[in-house]
Amino acid sequence: MSEISLNEADEAVLSYLEEGRGTAAFLSKKTRWSREYLTQRLIRLEEHDVVENLEDTGLYELSNDTD
């Protein structure tokens, strides 16, 4: 995994994704952040190989990349 500074929203997203997969809309309902903001954060987390967008569907899971 490459270096990334996680914020509070990132930590919440990763906490939910530890339990399984999720979309920005789902994560927005579970947290206090908007779907739009979480979409931006998920894209950033994907750029750093922290999460994976499954076949570009908007459904995310934690990355299996262990670098």
Q: Is the pTM of this model over 0.85?
A: yes
pLDDT tens figures, 14-61: 999 999 999 999 999 999 999 999 999 999 999 999 999 999 999 999
**Predicted pLDDT at 3:** 79
For tokens 């899971």, what's the residue?
A: 61
pLDDT at res. 64? 85
Quick one: residue 49, left, alpha or beta (phi over 0 = left, psi -120 to 50 = alpha)? left
The domains located in the chain, with CATH, are 8-62 (1.10.10)
Q: What is the DSSP letter of 19?
A: T
2 pLDDT more than 70:
no
DSSP symbol at 48: T
Per DSSP, the three-state class of 52 is strand
